[in-house]
Structure 1
């Protein structure tokens, strides 16, 4: 098990770029999650729904964002995760994942940090999220 990261309010998480998203990515995620809504794989259905192409399911972006977060802090330290879907993601989109420590609740050697997270496309948010993770506080070492 990894030690919790050490952070301070205002710290920014390392940015990651994902993509471009492909139709294959979307179909593979649909297969893994069992979401076979034609909006995610049928071009004609997507056009009739008002989209230029099939769109990625929101849970795909939520999962990408969660995976990036837990790569950094360790899944064993994630306590809460909540997402809000803001815009559709299309094949060809490149996502930038970023986050910031917005608060820390001190509780001895290990504390809780509240994070604000975001996935953007061309600087426009597609998913926003909040998370709470266990962190080291005090003089517990470096991040």
Structure 2
């Protein structure tokens, strides 16, 4: 999915959907990441704590957003990646990731750096995660 379009301020990535997410995905992410908080895989315990069900790890959504961004601009080009967790994600949710280049600057070594705004939105319109990143680019 790496882009071949010119990378300029205002350029947008093709949106990408993930999901519907399942409890099985949360369990697998728990094992892979070492985040063994039972709120992510034990429905009885999650409900006893006042939640409607288990819910996704914030870092799981962050990983999906990072996958989206690196598929767009290249994993080897990442210079900085940061996110803000905003809304919980539940089984059955469908997440849509979007990205836009907000600026192109030149680093001291001459590398062109694209600053991007990233968003991971639930099907409800709620924003699960928002973020920013910087990528070194060659065709800016």
- Structure 2 unaligned spans of 5+: none
Of the structure 1 ranges 44-53 and 123-132, higher mean CA displacement relative to structure 2 is found in 44-53
1:91 maps to: 91
1:57 maps to: 57
Q: Which structure 2 residues correspond to residues 64-143 of structure 1 after superposition, within 5 A? A: 64-107=64-107, 110-122=111-123, 123-137=125-139
Q: Which structure 2 residues correspond to residues 2-13 of structure 1 after superposition, within 5 A? A: 6-13=6-13
Task: Name the CA distance, whole Å, in 1 between partners of 2:14 and 2:68.
Answer: 9
Cα deviation, 1:1-57, whole Å, max 9, x if unaligned, reads x99974111111110011000111000000001111111011122113322110010
SS of equivalent residue, structure 1 residue 69: helix
Task: Name the CA distance, whole Å, in 2 between partners of 1:3 and 1:61.
Answer: 22
Cα deviation, 1:63-101, whole Å, max 9, x if unaligned, reads 011011111211100000001100111110000000111
Structure 1-normalised TM-score? 0.88
- Structure 1 unaligned spans of 5+: 139-143
1:4/1:134 contact within 8 Å kept: no
SS of equivalent residue, structure 2 residue 121: strand
2:115/2:134 contact within 8 Å kept: yes
Task: Name the CA distance, whole Å, in 2 between partners of 1:31 and 1:137.
Answer: 39
Shift in alpha-carbon separation, 1:135–1:94, aligned structure 2, 3 A: same
RMSD: 2.1
1:99/1:118 contact within 8 Å kept: yes
Q: Which runs of 4+ in 1 moved over 4 A?
A: 2-5
